[in-house]
Homo-oligomer: A and B are copies of this chain.
Amino acid sequence: MTEKKKLFKNRILKELYFGDTLSCADLCFKIDKSFPVTQKILEELVTENLVTDTGYAASTGGRRPLTYSLQKNVMYLVSVAMDQFVTKIAIMDMQNNFIFPIEKIVLPLTNNPEAVQVLIDKIANVIELSGIPKEKFIGIGIGMPGFVDVEKGINYSFLNLPDNKSITKHITAQIGLPVSIDNDSSLIALAELRFGAAKGDRNTMVINIGWGIGLGLILNGKLYRGHEGFAGEFSHIPIFLNGKLCWCGKAGCLETETSLLLIIEKAREGINAGRLSKLSSLPLHDPELACDAIIKAVKEGDQFAIELFSKAGYNIGKGVAILIHLLNPNKIILSGRGASAGQIWQAPIQQSLNEHCIHRLFQSTSIEISKLGIDAELIGAAALLMENYEQFKVSKN
């Protein structure tokens, strides 16, 4: 098979992954090829058992199109989502299902030279235990915090290898599968773009409310990463004159006035000062549990918890106002762990925009809460791998 045909095949597989069920005409449009070529390749993919036809779609006013989907149980991928403390590993199929319970390991990234090897061993272990033959895996997608150079496969903040060696190449060398990495906030944005609230959008900002405030930018319909891949450093834009020193070394960062860690901190202070709240029994040393508890209190209408989120939301709004002035997005999506607090974010952010934004500008920008939930990063890591899929070699031919 020629190189070119391989590329076309991979592109079709990729489009079917993102599009689920598509007609031949849809695929023509997406891969920018003519009907005869597309159909011929599709036929080949069907005989190779990578694709199946899924019957006729409803008519849109004419002959009903024959539709195609990816064959089930023939291709899998490994999806990994890391934060500073915990790493989640999942095996996913081409229909975006987690086909085993998600593995969760404690893996601190700071001052941990072993981290990369631990990660590799664990991934190999998960593949091994799955019982799925390795040839059926097409690759590994990994999301991680820090400054990530996607092209080179290097993380400048964590998981460094000697001589700035590429992590992706390092892992590929050991496991024998293609690897793609990216920043966690970028992957959450990618998940929203491909499978979430930003589907079909061209200019959307995804705010990752987590231990910090991350930002993934979708500009002109594509994930924007910046000159060196460092775009979206929302957490540390200096917009407050509060004199609070941030761990980044500067003062007045957005992060010093809003983040889940700050909310937990303030909750603790409030309780210690005797504030009346359902939160009196806040778990002390586990941020995940503490966060869940406060969000639960919010949903139960606890006044103190709501107050904390409102203030944080108002401050996020100040940052969002700047985003809207600079980038004129059609939509802002609140995602990440904090998004599970739901509609509570809407009012304070809207209020903040009323105060800090030119009316004509935010008029056409909607604020939405993500529906992808806590596993958005895993979905994004899978999507990242599939975005790069067309460059991979087709295993068999």
Q: Residue A238 contacts which of B220, B250, B322, B328 (CB distance < 8 angstroms)? A: B322
State which residues 199-233 of A face B: CB under 8 Å. Answer: 202-203, 215, 217, 219-220, 222, 224-233
Residues B325 and A361 in contact, CB atoms below 8 Å apart: no
19 A-B contacts, Cβ less than 8 Å apart?
Answer: A203-B227, A215-B326, A219-B219, A220-B222, A226-B327, A227-B328, A227-B365, A230-B360, A231-B328, A232-B326, A233-B325, A233-B326, A234-B326, A236-B358, A237-B326, A238-B318, A238-B356, A239-B322, A250-B357
Binding site for B on A (CB under 8 A): 147, 156, 202-203, 215, 217, 219-220, 222, 224-234, 236-239, 241, 248-250, 318, 321-323, 325-330, 355-361, 364-365
A227 contacts across to B, CB distance below 8 A: 202-203, 328-330, 364-365
Residues B224 and A219 in contact, CB atoms below 8 Å apart: yes
Query: Contacts A241-B241, A322-B237, A326-B237 given: A220-B224 contact, CB under 8 Å?
Result: yes
Nearest first, the 3 closest Cβ-Cβ pairs linking A and B are A226-B328, A227-B330, A231-B328
Q: A392–B226 Cα gap in the complex (Å)? A: 33
Q: A45–B248 Cα gap in the complex (Å)? A: 59
Residues A321 and B358 in contact, CB atoms below 8 Å apart: no
Q: How far is the CB of A229 from chain B (nearest CB, A)?
A: 7
A365 contacts across to B, CB distance below 8 A: 227
A328 to B, closest residue via Cβ: B226
Residues B238 and A321 in contact, CB atoms below 8 Å apart: yes
Please classify the interface of chain A as helix (H, G, I), strand (E, B), loop, or mixed, using the class held by over half of its residues: loop
Residues B233 and A361 in contact, CB atoms below 8 Å apart: yes
Report the copy number of this chain in the oligomer: 2
A202 contacts across to B, CB distance below 8 A: 227
Q: A161–B174 Cα gap in the complex (Å)? A: 66
Q: A15–B322 Cα gap in the complex (Å)? A: 36
Q: Residue A231 contacts which of B222, B318, B321, B327 (CB distance < 8 angstroms)? A: B327
Q: Residue A250 contacts which of B232, B239, B358 (CB distance < 8 angstroms)? A: B358
A215 contacts across to B, CB distance below 8 A: 326
A236 contacts across to B, CB distance below 8 A: 325, 358
Residues A325 and B234 in contact, CB atoms below 8 Å apart: yes
Q: A226–B330 Cα gap in the complex (Å)? A: 8
Q: A294–B326 Cα gap in the complex (Å)? A: 30
Q: A357–B237 Cα gap in the complex (Å)? A: 8
A233 contacts across to B, CB distance below 8 A: 325-326, 328, 358, 361
A233 to B, closest residue via Cβ: B325
Beyond contacts A217-B327, A219-B219, A249-B359: 13 other A-B pairs, Cβ-Cβ < 8 A, are: A203-B226, A217-B326, A225-B328, A226-B328, A228-B364, A229-B328, A231-B327, A233-B358, A234-B325, A238-B357, A239-B322, A249-B358, A326-B326
Residues B147 and A360 in contact, CB atoms below 8 Å apart: yes
Q: A360–B241 Cα gap in the complex (Å)? A: 22
A225 contacts across to B, CB distance below 8 A: 328
A215 to B, closest residue via Cβ: B326
A325 contacts across to B, CB distance below 8 A: 233-234, 236-237
Query: Contacts A147-B360, A250-B358 given: A230-B328 contact, CB under 8 Å?
Result: yes
Residues A250 and B326 in contact, CB atoms below 8 Å apart: no
